[in-house]
Amino acid sequence: MKGYLVMENGRVFTGRLLNNCRMASGEVVFSTAMISYQDIITDPSYYGQIVVMTYPLVGNVGFNEKSYSSSGAMVKGLVLREATDFPSHYEMEVDLISFLNKSEIAVLTEVDTRALTREIRNHGIMGGVITDNVQKINYLREQARKASLELKGDLVRYVSRKNVMQFGEGATRIVFLDLGTKRGGIDSFVRRGCQVFAVPADVDSEYIKDLEPDGIVISDGPGDPVTVPYVVKTLKELIGYKPIFGVGLGHQIIALALGASIHKLPYGHRGTNHPIKDLESGRIYISTQNHGYVVEEGSLASTEGKVRMISLNDATVEGIMYEKRSVFSLQFDPEGFPGYSETGIFIDEFVNRL
């Protein structure tokens, strides 16, 4: 079936719909990842977005539950150049399209994803609509605009856990403030011998203190950090109480709590291949990233924060050390799966500090 992606600015990209989802709207972003499409589709940080995969062939190893980042699909739509017709992998439980059909996620293929990516890079992130009919183009553009506005609200409340959960039995006790974490975020601390108490985003500082943690982790999540003032308030009350480690959205919220500023990037950083530099050691790492906002380096003076890491693509802040406050935060994802990520050493660094 013929399908279309209608952008907020009126640009239309033609392709083919691979399932029965006739309309889906969301913020259109692109990911430069060559692998990990299972991780991307189920990552809560992509909540409400239509993701364009720049890699031309997607789906060749199918889907298996072990590779889920969370309990299920989080994206609103997926735009591809080509989807594999005959996936094959010894761990595959279901093919990509069957998984997306079951999850009611729109899939548009045979799209010129190079041209679409250039459109986003040149004009910035905007709303879009995947549809099977473009006769009412003005209506579709309005729907795309609305989708973009909806994602400027509090998205954390949709993806944060509902209950307090305990993971692991280690001697080091961690409270993990879940703003929309991936499974690997918690597993990374359990594998390092920690007992993890994962708590919803809206718990207050007194509840966290009652758990008597050795350290506190603020997870990644979707959206604009300014839209979750209740988390910022909690962080203000916790800084100085115990060592704190923030990742992604957590990194940005820590900066806000200490008085720094945030701004939105034109098209964000999304992919598994972003180079970053550790200014202390001079070493270069390849990182996994998914964010649309960054901390403004010039606003850090009053926070006593020191830039530890920067992006080699655009020199934006990727890591901050607040030494006097025993706070450390990273913009990228340091989960550190064996054979997958080389940045897990920063989790080791935090756990060793405890």
Cα distance between residue 242 and residue 309, in whole Å:
23
Q: Which pLDDT tens digit goes with each residue over 160-170?
A: 999 999 999 98
* Residue 337 confidence class, pLDDT cut points 50, 70, 90: low
- 226: three-class secondary structure by DSSP: helix
Residues 160 and 134 in one domain: no
CATH number of the domain residue 246 falls in: 3.40.50.880
**pLDDT at position 79:** 97
> Phi-psi region for residue 282, left (φ > 0), alpha (ψ -120 to 50) or beta?
left
Residues 55 and 98 in one domain: yes
- 132: three-class secondary structure by DSSP: coil
Residues 144 and 165 in one domain: no
Top pLDDT among 22 and 128 is at: 128
* Residue 149 confidence class, pLDDT cut points 50, 70, 90: confident
What residues pair up with 271 in beta bridges, in sequence order? 289
Kindly report the number of other CB atoms within 10 A of residue 159's CB atom: 23
CATH number of the domain residue 70 falls in: 3.50.30.20
- Can you tell me the mean pLDDT for 121-143? 94
- Can you tell me the mean pLDDT for 9-22? 91
Q: Tokens 């993990």, residue?
A: 176
Q: Is the predicted pLDDT of residue 339 greater than 80, yes or no? A: no
Residues 92 and 171 in one domain: no
Kindly report the number of other CB atoms within 10 A of residue 3's CB atom: 26
- Can you tell me the mean pLDDT for 124-153? 91
Residues 69 and 41 in one domain: yes
Q: Is the predicted pLDDT of residue 152 greater than 90, yes or no? A: no
Q: Which of 117, 150, 183 is the last residue of a domain?
A: 150
E runs forming strands in 148-193: 165-167, 172-178
What residues pair up with 53 in beta bridges, in sequence order? 31
Q: Which tokens is 23 given?
A: 């309309």
H or E, element range at 249: helix 249-257
**pLDDT at position 36:** 85
Structurally, how many domains does the chain consist of? Answer: 2
Top pLDDT among 71 and 173 is at: 173
Residues 119 and 222 in one domain: no
Q: Is the predicted pLDDT of residue 270 greater than 50, yes or no? A: yes
Residue 39: give the domain boundaries: 2-150
Q: Which pLDDT tens digit goes with each residue over 178-215?
A: 999 988 899 999 999 999 999 999 999 999 999 999 99
Q: Which of 150, 179, 196 is the last residue of a domain?
A: 150
Q: Which of 150, 172, 201 is the last residue of a domain?
A: 150
Decide: 347 and 354 in contact? Cβ < 8 Å.
no
Residues 32 and 70 in one domain: yes
Residues 174 and 320 in one domain: yes
Residues 172 and 243 in one domain: yes
Instruction: Quote the mean pLDDT of the chain.
Output: 93
pTM of the model: 0.93
Residues 113 and 178 in one domain: no
Residues 195 and 114 in one domain: no
Q: Which pLDDT tens digit goes with each residue over 216-238?
A: 999 999 999 999 999 999 999 99
Residues 103 and 163 in one domain: no
**Within its chain, how far is the Cα of 35 from the centroid?**
16
**pLDDT at position 133:** 92
**pLDDT at position 338:** 45
CA angle in degrees (0–180, nearest 5) for 222-226-227: 65
89: CB partners within 8 A, 6+ apart: 60, 61, 62, 64
Indicate if the alpha-carbon torsion angle 241, 244, 249, 254 is positive or negative. positive
Buried b (16+ CB within 10 A) or exposed e, 53-73: bbbeebbbbbbeeebbbbeeb
